Structure 1
Amino acid sequence: MVGESGFDVAWTAAGDTQIELVGTSGVDVSKHAVDRRTSARFRGLAPGRTYRYRLSAGGRMRAEHDVRTAPPAGTPFRFVALGDSGSASPEQLAIAARMADARPDLIVHTGDLIYPKGTPTEYGRKFYQPYQAMIVSIPFYPCIGNHDYSADEGRPMLEEFILPENGPAGETPERHYWFDYSHVRFVAIDSNIPRQRLADVVAPWLDSVLAEADRRGLAKVVFFHHPPYSSGPYGGTHRMRLTIVPALDRHRAELVLNGHNHAYERTQPLRGGVIVAANEGTVYVTTGAGGGELYEPAAMPEPELAKSHYGKHSFTVVDVDATRMVVRQINIEGVIVDEFDIPLRAAATSRPAA
């Protein structure tokens, strides 16, 4: 987890382990250990600066990596998104290598990190090994997929990550959360919970989080597993259209990222389920081809579908500047299969440090 004024690091090791920032003094550091897992929180850092952390044990250096704090609002950045990856397949490894080549500032995952049932013992082979070159330095923000949820309602996944604890009251911490990076507010939702909880608890919280983003002039990216609109075999998820989409419409979120259907799909800009002008609606992207078995498209595409890519694994690259997002879908062969712009309705403005 990364903010403007600091970052968190978590690791697993036997015995006592020390962590320090190389060549930096006067930093607020707190450390917490449970069983073999240890985490450290660094605060009091400068925004947009690269810091090197060092792990050591028994008087020997074990690892040393660089992390960049979140930059001030208005700073261009790149993030990548993918979903439905956790199979340990050759395709997952190939997509991971393509992602690393893109050199993102952060990674968003739209769920289903571990197939088939989110088992904790599978994280080494199906998550840490494929992404080890990136996650030592690049923040990784997941949401819970249905396969992750099948293991104790996603709690094993939540235990693997350090995520913001700013979700709705009464919900498990980290299940839903938000964070700001440069001039974009990212919001993660667990779309597996019952419809009534989505309507009564999550939707009002989402409304307030997006309203605050509006007041601060931030663009809005929301990600959750089940797509409200899709031409894939599962189709769109009706309960998400009923409970979550109204808040997205009210605040005109620029981009929504989903998974679940194992393919790539992009809608036209939508508001109230109706196609509207680019600066008036929300674009919904299903990026569910991160490594799992691929799906076939439905016989009749939905009318809101603008572009799709079936039959090959892929991931999403988003470049953000002060006025727009440039979104590209790149397949396993490195081919750009879709590219489009999303105008940012809110001008990038300065904001308090995270």
Structure 2
Amino acid sequence: MGRRRPSSASPGDGGQLRGGLYRRRNSLLRWPMTQGGICRNRYIEKGPTPSSRFGCWPARFAAGSKAPVVIRMMFAALFAFLLASCSKGGIGGNGEPDGREEVGEWQGPGEDGGSGEWSDVEEESASSDEGQAADTSDGGQQEDGDSQASDGQQALSFSFLFYGDSRSGSDCTGNARHLALIERMAAEPDVHFVVHLGDMVTGYADSTCFASPGSCVGSSSIGDLSTIIAPLNNRAPMPGLAAFFFPVIGNHDDNSGWYPDPCGGRICDVFDMTALVNHPTPNGDPCGQDYPEYAYYSFTYGTVAFFVLHVNYDYFDFFACNYPPSGWDSCEQYCRDAPRDDTLYERCWNVHQYDWLVEELRKADTDPSITRKVIFLHAPVYTSFDDHPPFTSAPVLAELADTYGVSLVANGHNHWYERTVPLRQGKQDPTGTTYITSSGGGVETWDASGDWFTAAHSAANHYVRIDVDESGMHGRAIDIEGRVIDEFDLQ
């Protein structure tokens, strides 16, 4: 038998009721409770002795009794006989139980004159089928397999957070807002992991660096990303995950010669990218030579497949090339449709991520254990403001979301909160994909203008919580003061 979870305490001693059967913390007998100094069934208390299995002596043998010595000796002999009979399996001397005993319960004297006793049940006894059935009736863990099943059941219902654009900019105020959001997120109950949607550091200035405070050294606005996110990033990963805190690469995390950052730090000073990037890279160096082009990866938790993309600027094109070879009308036609070989991957420098994503989505779509899919990236697919418009290949990604039934696409880049209605093939459809911009992780924000596809928008600094269970996915956007600014359900 495996470990059992205590369900309730038995009155009068240190034992416990486990699965409906009385269990004792040691092998000593449990003596029956008394009522006004007299034991039940006209017995009174007697201290336990090594040779006795009886909880009480008859009343006539109480301390101070005036009974003649001979009578006492006669009753002593009778009790010795009864003791020997009980040790053979019950009154009657046939070595078989008398049928009246129930494990862990007091048995009073029967009609045949048998004496009552408490069964001496050891801590891990009662291995009969009936005992095992009773042991699991209170929901306690019985075997290691049951414990593993419980762990799997927990993974079916879980919660995660995401947010983006925590960089401070040209001063330190964004760091202070980021610190406040981290404190609030760290207090969220039952969170299984967190995703940052990109622009973790400033890039063009040392106000926010990967692992150094730079120009922001005050405790209220420290510019060290590693220190700011430590309350979450230092948490042990949930079983089956490579990390607790997952990064998406934003344009401020790698563009315009901003890597290493102005403080000389790299992303692997904060995150173990070699553990996250679960596909081969040309040089085997996701932090250096292969960063950021190959900084995309996937993971699965519970019944949800997650895909983290490296798509972080307005003109990102899965099918970009300098020019198509002879016989092809466009880079898109060539990069999408031509046979895969080294020449194609040299000409089409982003198509390796597209091919990887299609294959990962296809595998998830044919896996019966996967019920939902979520994509994280930095640049928007749908947005109502043209500060950063949908990136060049946004229609390509939307087509993949439609084809493979993606529930949620979450991005950063534009500094506000915006959620779309469910969309499929560019139209509102209750079975479609919801697109969320969550870019209020510390930066100065402004509000979206809204469009026909906009379901909600806000200028608040915020993060988003998603709760997953067998019925679906439920989301809430929460601002820096802890107020819910949007609430929604996902398909």
Specify which of 295, 300, 303 is matched with residue 175 of structure 1: 295
Q: Deviations over 1:147-206 (max 9, x none)?
A: 112265767325632242224765937511001111111111111374125862222221
The TM-score, its normalising length taken from structure 2, stands at: 0.51
8 A Cα contact 1:267 1:307, kept in partner:
yes
Partner in structure 1 of residue 234 of structure 2: 136
User: Is the 1:206–1:247 Cα contact (8 Å) retained in structure 2?
Assistant: no
In structure 1, which of residues 270, 293, 314 is the aligned counterpart of residue 462 of structure 2? 314
Instruction: Give, in whole Å, the separation in 2 of the partners of 1:216 and 1:198.
Output: 30
Name whichever of 95-104 and 173-182 sits farther off: 173-182
Could you say if the C-alpha distance between residues 107 and 71 of structure 1 is closer, same or farther in structure 2, counting changes exceeding 3 Å?
A: farther
Of 184, 187, 191, the residue aligned with 1:98 is 184
Report the Cα distance in structure 2 between the residues aligned to 1:294 and 1:154, rounded to whole angstroms: 25
The residue identity in structure 2 corresponding to 1:165 is: V
Tell me: CA distance 1:134–1:74, structure 2 relative to 1, closer, same or farther (3 Å): closer
State TM-score, norm by structure 1. 0.70
Q: Tell me the equivalent position of 2:167.
A: 86
Between the aligned partners of 1:273 and 1:115, the Cα distance in structure 2 is 34
- Aligned residue pairs, count: 274
Q: What aligned pairs does 1:41-190 form with structure 2 within 5 A after superposition?
A: 75-87=156-168, 88-103=174-189, 104-117=191-204, 121-124=209-212, 125-138=223-236, 139-150=244-255, 152=257, 156-158=266-268, 160-163=270-273, 164-167=276-279, 170=282, 172=290, 175-190=295-310
Percentage of identical aligned residues: 29
Q: Are the counterparts in 2 of residues 73 and 181 from structure 1 also a CA contact under 8 Å?
A: no
Q: Which residue identity is paired with 1:309?
A: S
Task: From 212, 215, 218, give the equivalent of 2:366.
Answer: 215
- Counterpart for residue 259 of structure 1: 412
The CA deviation at 1:319 is: 0.6
| Offset at residue 121 of structure 1 (A) | 4.8
Which residues of 2 match residues 178-327 of structure 1 at below 5 A? 178-192=298-312, 194-195=316-317, 196=320, 200-217=351-368, 218=370, 219-277=372-430, 280-298=431-449, 301-310=450-459, 312-327=460-475
Instruction: Please state how far the C-alpha of 1:235 moved relative to its aligned partner.
Output: 4.6
CA contact (8 A) 1:294 1:313 kept: yes
> Could you tell which deviates more after superposition, 161-170 or 286-295?
161-170
Q: Which has the higher contact order (CA 8 A, sep 6+)?
A: 1
For residue 216 of structure 1, what is the amino acid of its counterpart?
D
Deviation at 1:230, TM superposition (A): 0.8
CA deviations on 1:217-255 (whole Å, 9 max, x unpaired) are 321110000011112342531413233222112101001
| CA–CA separation in structure 2 for the residues paired with 1:331 and 1:232 | 21
Q: SS at the partner of 2:229? A: helix
Instruction: For residue 239 of structure 1, give the secondary structure of its aligned residue in structure 2.
Output: coil
Distance, in Å, in 1 between the alignment partners of 2:205 and 2:355 is 29
Residue 273 of structure 1 and its aligned partner are, at CA, apart by: 1.8
Compared with structure 1, are the counterparts of its residues 121 and 309 closer, same or farther at alpha carbon in structure 2 (3 Å cutoff)? closer
Structure 2 vs 1, CA of residues 309 and 247 (structure 1 numbering), >3 Å: closer, same or farther? Answer: same
Is the Cα–Cα contact under 8 Å of residues 178 and 188 in structure 1 kept in the other structure? yes
For residues 350 and 395 of structure 2, the distance between their equivalents in structure 1, rounded to whole angstroms, comes to 8
Q: Is the 8 A contact 2:381 2:391 kept in 1?
A: yes
- Give the 3 Å change call, closer, same or farther, for CA 286–118 of structure 1 in structure 2: farther
Q: How far apart, in 1, do the equivalents of 2:400 and 2:280 lie?
A: 15
Distance 1:168 1:318 in 2: 31
Check whether the contact 2:155–2:301 (CA below 8 A) recurs between aligned residues. no
**Separation in 2 of the partners of 1:105 and 1:158?**
22
What runs of 5+ residues in structure 1 fail to find an aligned partner? Answer: 1-45, 50-69, 344-354
Specify which structure has the higher proportion of strand: 1
Aligned CA RMSD, in angstroms, stands at 3.0
SS at match of 1:333: coil
Q: Is the 1:203–1:243 contact (alpha carbons within 8 Å) kept by the matching residues of 2?
A: no
Q: 1:230 to 1:121 in 2, by over 3 A?
A: closer
* SS of equivalent residue, structure 2 residue 379: coil
- Name the CA distance, whole Å, in 2 between partners of 1:127 and 1:161: 11
Deviation string for 1:288-326 (max 9, x for gaps)?
Answer: 00101112433xx2211111111x200000111122111
Q: Distance in 2 between matches of 1:215 and 1:154?
A: 38
